[in-house]
Chain A
Amino acid sequence: MIGPAVLALLALIVAGIVHLASILAMPYLAPRDGMTRLAGLVSENRMSLLPDDEVRRLLPFADPSVAMAGCAYALDRGPVRVRLRTGSAPVGLVFLRKGAGVFHSLSDKAAVQGGLDVVLATPAQMAIIRDRDTDDDPVQEIRISSSDERGLVVVRALVPVPSMRAEVERLLSAASCDTESLD
């Protein structure tokens, strides 16, 4: 005989498991996460300026005081190098992977000689890159390891006053996101 107490306990345990499992699965299963929302505006291994009005339409709590650029990276053909010039206003980069959300971020404070030079690679590619390092040639680039081959880089630059938007957008338009061969 199964008593009501046992049934209640069963329901409680199942509720707990289902709740935890669905919270953990949400980042993988959410149909309209940030990456998916921007998917139509970005290209693979190419940096594009994201139109301001589209970003505001697609992203909740979009920041009206930034200009944005984005690049969907794919590491299947080799590491991806992201380069941009920094100006006087704050610039930040966020790196997203499906399921992980923002897994890394950088700001212009990490810039060397007025520019950011970032290499994204899988752990296996990263091992090859490190093997080729020599002591004579100090590493200038910032290296970020991505455990998935695919992800998204978003560049956000503050537009201090609206009249500077065109200038900030020019800076972002000059940013690049290119595959590099390891051969």
Chain B
Amino acid sequence: MLKVLATLAALAVGILAGLGLTALSIDRPPGFGAVTLGSWQVRPKIGTADADPYTRALMAANGEIPMGAAEGLALTTQTDSTGKALDGRCRYRLRGPFPGAGIWSVTLYWNNGTIASRNGQRASFTSFEIVRREGKAEEIVLAPGPQPGNWIPLTPGEAFSVVLRLHDLQIGGQAGVFDTASLPTLVREDCP
């Protein structure tokens, strides 16, 4: 009797641990299928039939419709260039170069995936919208208070992530073609 109970308990522990591990790998996705380039993360096979099971499970659980490989590629960062978590009270400068044929968009999101727009204000820029200054790299400033140039308002006290979408890039799911130096950097400038 004790043997049966002990076996059942071991099975129950196994099932719970297995499900727990699955929940954990959705909440904090493991690195399989992800490539890190500087502070950016990209899942190059996400929009293909060859996506790995973890990427596929993650997409289904989160309810996203990722960019198809032929459409382009999305890169995400939750940190600045030094690896510090993004903070809505600080000022950041996202400075080019931008890779690919040059058609891109940058969007800020809250951690739940909604667009991080402060009271309906701008939360994104496309490469067609930004003001360029001659001889200078393209740049976007993220800060709580108004800034000259291309400014996206931040909400103090809110964590956020930045997604860079390369809309005109056909790399067939091979992020290896990127060099970190060809990607923009997100530099923290000042913080209260």
Contact = CB atoms under 8 A, between A and B. Distances in A.
Nearest to A95: B68
Interface residues of A, number: 59
Given A24-B53, A61-B109, A102 B115 contact: no
Interface in B163-179: 163, 165, 167-168, 170
14 contacts: A1-B3, A10-B11, A12-B14, A15-B18, A17-B18, A18-B14, A19-B17, A26-B26, A33-B59, A56-B115, A61-B64, A102-B49, A102-B51, A105-B69
A22 B58 CA distance: 12
Given A14-B18, A34-B64, A106-B68, A101 B126 contact: no
Interface of B: 3, 6-7, 9-11, 13-15, 17-19, 21-22, 25-26, 46-49, 51, 53-54, 56-57, 59-72, 103, 105, 107, 109, 112-115, 123-124, 126, 128-129, 163, 165, 167-168, 170
Interface of A: 1-2, 7-8, 10-19, 21-24, 26-27, 30, 32-38, 56, 58-65, 90, 92-96, 100-107, 109-110, 154, 156, 158-161
B interface: dominant SS: mixed
A162 to B, nearest CB: 8
A146 to B, nearest CB: 11
Contact of A27 (B57, B64, B170): B57
A34 B126 contact: no
Contact of B103 (A23, A90, A102): A90
B64 A92 contact: no
Contact of A60 (B49, B112, B126, B165): B112
Contacts of A22: 18-19, 22
Contact of B17 (A11, A34, A101, A110): A11
A7 B163 contact: no
Contact of A93 (B6, B48, B68, B113): B68
A14 B14 contact: yes
Nearest to A2: B3
Contact of B71 (A8, A24, A156): A156
A99 to B, nearest CB: 8
Contacts of B3: 1-2
Contacts of A61: 62, 64, 109, 113, 163
Contact of B63 (A11, A37, A110): A37
B170 to A, nearest CB: 6
Nearest first, the 9 A-B pairs at minimum CB distance are: A105-B68, A14-B14, A18-B18, A60-B113, A92-B71, A26-B57, A160-B128, A30-B60, A15-B17
B72 A90 contact: yes
B105 A65 contact: yes
A52 to B, nearest CB: 11
Q: Which of A63, A93, A106 has the most CB of B within 10 A?
A: A63
Given A19-B21, A92-B68, A106-B70, A158 B170 contact: no
Given A26-B22, A94-B71, A59 B7 contact: no
A58 B20 CA distance: 27
Nearest to B52: A23
Q: Which of B17, B109, B115, B167 has the most CB of A within 10 A?
A: B167
B112 A105 contact: no
Given A23-B25, A64-B107, A102-B47, A7 B68 contact: no
